Structure 1
Amino acid sequence: MRFQTKLMVFISLLVVVVTGLLGLSFRYMITSALNEEMGKRALTVANTLAVDAQVREALKQTDTAQLRLRIHEAVKPVQASSGADFITIADRHLIRQWHVNPERIGTPMLNPMNDKVLHGQSFITESTGSLGRSLRAKTAIYDEQGKAIGLVSVGFLMTDVEQNIRTYTYAWLWFMIWALMIGILGSLLIARRVRRELHGLEPVEIGRLYQEKQAILESIGEGIIAVNSRGQVTFANPQAVRLLGLPLETTIDGYELRHLAGVAGKLADVLVADFTVNHANIKSDQEHIVLNEEIEVQQRVVVVSRVPIKDHSGQMIGTVASLRDKTELLRMTRQLTEVKDYAEGLRSQTHEYANRLYLISGLIQLECYDEAVDFITQESEEYRVHKPAASTLLPDSVIASLLIGKKKQALDKRIVLHSTVSGAFSTLSPTLEWSLLAAMAGNLLDNAMEAVAMPSIPEGQVWFRLEETAEAITVEVADNGAGIAEDIREKLFVKGASTKAEAGHGYGLALVHEYAERMGGSIKIHERTGGGTIFAIRIPLNTSVTSDEATGGYTHE
């Protein structure tokens, strides 16, 4: 059943139940009021007849015929004016001296309550008599000395009361019918409005979309924060909490950004928009959009983008901001650059080998077979010399491919790259990630080649060593450059710190340091004998061996 139909049915049932309960309550109140009103009328008529002098004198008569004649003359006009269905008058012996049914005159009243009436009690009761069920009032008739000389009973048949109740009930039924029709019409309008507000979605679809949204926002690598017009956080995924420098288990929903530790300041100013701007102006809407603004949070550079959230009327009710770690962006940019450089190297190598194949083809066509064999032998020997040992020793091809690319890159820059790979590389550690190891090695090799690619260094050389022992994997990169000053070494692993004057540098070594710590390792800087610098990374394979233990080092002359 569709949500719109369910809503109509539920509201209609609610109207029926409410009006039904009100109808029963109204019927009960009307019945009680009518019974009380009829009883009071009957008692008033009975009291009127009880103090009537003519009735008193009639009951003193000893002549029965005269007695009944006088009572008839006194009761007839009262019964006609009051509308009572019956009036009964009895003497002190409870013998009926007047009754609406002449056949009942002269017969005794057998109700035990009548004795109590003669003793001074008046009653209003509902009982069944000779004329049927009726509401009646009884009171005693007293002479001048206060002695009970009879009683009078005045009654209204319940058929009259029930007729009045039916009249009110019919009116109430019409009211219920109109209320039900109005309820159905109102439920239809409400259902349509709700469906329009929900964009035509069913509750099941909304629940599924909510679950999908939660899963998407928690799985993406970017931090997402939603803020309402009061500056309160309405949603923040785990990545956003991490980028704000807060513990991952922290829940910041409902908090004001300006009151969060570490968030107050420029970041809060960026995330919380100025909601007083006129939203009908297109230019003002553009002012609420922030793209790729760099903010420092907890010694971390965060790239923030913000867009406004609007309601149906175009009024801004909040903002959604994405947060990205600039370090991660730079890492991906660097990886893409390395891939591009590797592709360029392969392209030039392909072009170079195509020229060599053409040379071999020409020598064969000219029947210079000895020269062709000598050329092929020379090329094979050169490939064997330059092919890194990592291609056959390493279980992962990432570093092997990296070294092949760096060999070609160094050759193009007229730099000699020495590589040494030793160890069985059979130990599998849960903390070891070859992709991160390759990223660290690539960063260090790039820095080393930049350090020796100087006019002041005629023969630039770079040494790469990868070694596995039972305790750890060691990566060392050395160069014969100018070296690094002692005061710069202390802040070399801080994000943004660099020996280069150009902007955009100072993140590579910070990434290397971060990756090393992630795998439980360490990185150290040594001064190379003969000039230059040595970077040594040590990744322990045995958790009982600390990362502060000694690492090997180069002593290249």
Structure 2
Amino acid sequence: MIVTLGLLGALQTVLIGGFAGYYLSESLYDEIGQRAMKVAQTVAATPAVINGVRNRDIPALNRLAGRLAETNDALFIVIGDHQAIRLAHPDPARIGFSMGDDDGDYGRKALVEGNAYVARAEGSLGESMRGKAPIVVPGTGEIIGIVSVGYSLEQVEATIRRYNFVLYGVVGLMLLVSVIAAIVIAGRFKRAIFGLEPEEIARLFQERDATLQSVREGIIAVNRDGVITTVNRAAYETLDLPSDQPVTGRPISEILPENGLISALTSGEPDFDQEIWLRGRQMIVNRLPVRRGDTIIGVVASFRLRDELDQVSRQLTRIQQYADTLRSQTHEYSNKLHTIAGLIQIGANQEALALIGSEVSDHQTLLHLLLEAVPDPVIAGCLLGKYNRAREMGLSLEIDPDSQMRDLPEMLPREQLVGVVGNLIDNALEATRLHTGAGGRVQLSMTDLGEELIFEVQDQGPGIPEKERQRIFKKGVSTKEGEARGYGLHLVRQFLRHWGGSVTVENVPEGGSRFTLYLPKAPKKGGQL
């Protein structure tokens, strides 16, 4: 870059300097020629010169020509008659001879055409710029002679050399400034690109693009004006953006009005693992401002579907619960099988049959209720799992036999609904176990009558103080001790805000608390707590 900018500056400087020098030289030559012609015209119009030529008063003409040449700083003033025979000349030996002997120009334009003109010629007094004018008798217009005024080109060239010295000095200074500017610009440019060479920048760009496209999380970057500068393939897929319509160069507000990147530009604070809704999907979003010094020049956001994390989490939780359930049921049924075997051995067959019937009866009742009231397999499976979970904890989950949940809207995401209801039941089971121990119960009732879906979960816990009823829905806030707490009710609030539902919390007189969840069958914006 230094070499390129230096050569470019040198080329421009040399071209400009050469043109300026040439133009200056031609201008001086033209100016001297015009001056010589004007002096020649003035001398030719002088009455003393006209009378001297008519009378061929050679001494008077020579005195007059010498005085005028000295006055006008001319090299010479030569006066000739109508045949270009010298009547006045600085060298007396050339008087009486033809002016053509000097420069081969007899002054035909002046003597024949009557025009003044400029000529450059090598004469007896050296190379000069000459102006020639005809001597015309006033009134008659008769051409009776010619005046030639010359200025030495040595004087002109001396003047040009003086001007060129200054000009070339300026050109040299400009060339030096160009080189220094090239070094400064190249240095600042290299610092701006962290000392990398163009080939390294190209390779890093290719690596960055390959990295962005290989990341499974969606990534979008915007500049300080909120215009999208980078977007990877995963972002197109996650946000269901049309792949044939590029979004780079467009404002982020047109693509994702609810993105929150503009607020990150303003605040300059990073956000990590924020749960927001983008294009109708719940996302886990990270936002990180990009800074240059103390100035924010953009924001990079990465996001992924919350369902993916939930799916992994649910799978791990289900595996753990499944293992724990199998372990407890194995232990429980092992004891019951031993009891049944003992009853048969002692001949108490009726008691053995009664024990078997009671064991099967509870499950049959629950299965019959779920098949009739909750035809959706996802919700029914969740409730059956929570029933088994309650038995494992030594508790009972009682589902109101008058419950029904048949009119579920198609657009309602079942996985999220199961997550919300499951969180409320889990919290109720945990609160009941900690407060009453084994033998406690949790009650659940459901109805889809009217324009809302209503789920009511009641526990036998210690209750929730009124001042805590809003706070428990904040992320990380929990009434239970231990890490990784305070997320279940927060997820409930996030879902309600998106779907336009609401939840109420109240303590019941017999002890415990009741959570009532209201979900509109048609989604609304802005749920309430």
Relative to the length of structure 2, the TM-score reads 0.61
TM-superposed CA distance for 1:109, in Å, is: 2.9
Residues 1:181 and 2:116 aligned together: no
Counterpart position of 2:489: none
Name which of 276, 298, 323 aligns with 1:318. 298
> Partners in 1 of 2:321 and 2:91 — Cα distance?
124
TM-superposed CA distance for 1:298, in Å, is: 3.7
Structure 1 contact 133–158 (Cα < 8 Å) conserved? yes
**CA distance 1:151–1:257, shift in 2 (3 Å):** same
TM-superposed CA distance for 1:94, in Å, is: 1.5
> Partners in 1 of 2:252 and 2:321 — Cα distance?
43
* 1:240-273 deviation per Cα after TM superposition (whole angstroms, max 9, x unaligned): 222223223332112223223xx32xx32x2221
Residues 1:123 and 2:117 aligned together: yes
Structure 2 contact 222–300 (Cα < 8 Å) conserved? yes
Deviates more, 1:71-80 or 1:236-245: 236-245
User: Secondary structure of 2:235's match?
Assistant: helix
TM-superposed CA distance for 1:303, in Å, is: 0.9
Residues 1:273 and 2:263 aligned together: yes
**Matched AA of 1:114:** G
**CA distance 1:335–1:450, shift in 2 (3 Å):** closer
**CA distance 1:85–1:185, shift in 2 (3 Å):** same
Residues 1:297 and 2:278 aligned together: yes
> Partners in 1 of 2:425 and 2:220 — Cα distance?
29
Counterpart position of 1:222: 217
Structure 2 contact 62–89 (Cα < 8 Å) conserved? no
Matches within 5 A, 1:203-218: 203-218=198-213
Number of residue-to-residue matches in the alignment: 368
Counterpart position of 2:406: 487
User: Secondary structure of 1:497's match?
Assistant: helix
Name which of 391, 399, 416 aligns with 1:496. 416
TM-superposed CA distance for 1:12, in Å, is: 1.9
**CA distance 1:112–1:315, shift in 2 (3 Å):** closer
**CA distance 1:495–1:100, shift in 2 (3 Å):** farther
> Partners in 1 of 2:318 and 2:208 — Cα distance?
35
Counterpart position of 1:462: none
Counterpart position of 1:242: 237
> Partners in 2 of 1:500 and 1:274 — Cα distance?
30
Structure 2 contact 132–146 (Cα < 8 Å) conserved? yes
TM-superposed CA distance for 1:274, in Å, is: 5.5
TM-superposed CA distance for 1:60, in Å, is: 2.6
**CA distance 1:117–1:413, shift in 2 (3 Å):** farther
User: Secondary structure of 1:250's match?
Assistant: coil
TM-superposed CA distance for 1:340, in Å, is: 7.0
RMSD: 3.6
Structure 2 contact 386–422 (Cα < 8 Å) conserved? no
**CA distance 1:453–1:490, shift in 2 (3 Å):** farther
User: Secondary structure of 2:243's match?
Assistant: coil
> Partners in 2 of 1:158 and 1:213 — Cα distance?
69
Q: Work out the percentage of aligned pairs sharing the same amino acid.
A: 29
> Partners in 2 of 1:104 and 1:498 — Cα distance?
126
> Partners in 1 of 2:425 and 2:164 — Cα distance?
89
> Partners in 2 of 1:218 and 1:504 — Cα distance?
39
Counterpart position of 2:187: 192
> Partners in 2 of 1:148 and 1:299 — Cα distance?
104
Structure 2 contact 227–252 (Cα < 8 Å) conserved? yes
> Partners in 1 of 2:162 and 2:425 — Cα distance?
94
Structure 2 contact 84–106 (Cα < 8 Å) conserved? no
Name which of 109, 113, 133 aligns with 2:99. 109
User: Secondary structure of 2:263's match?
Assistant: coil
**CA distance 1:275–1:142, shift in 2 (3 Å):** same
Residues 1:154 and 2:154 aligned together: no
> Partners in 1 of 2:253 and 2:55 — Cα distance?
104
Counterpart position of 1:333: 313
Structure 1 contact 50–141 (Cα < 8 Å) conserved? yes
Matches within 5 A, 1:361-440: none
* 1:39-94 deviation per Cα after TM superposition (whole angstroms, max 9, x unaligned): 222123212321233322322336xxxx3212111111111121211222111122
Name which of 2, 12, 15 aligns with 2:6. 12
Structure 1 contact 498–505 (Cα < 8 Å) conserved? no
**CA distance 1:122–1:413, shift in 2 (3 Å):** farther
TM-superposed CA distance for 1:139, in Å, is: 0.8
> Partners in 1 of 2:31 and 2:328 — Cα distance?
112
TM-superposed CA distance for 1:410, in Å, is: 7.6
User: Secondary structure of 1:70's match?
Assistant: helix
Structure 1 contact 35–161 (Cα < 8 Å) conserved? yes
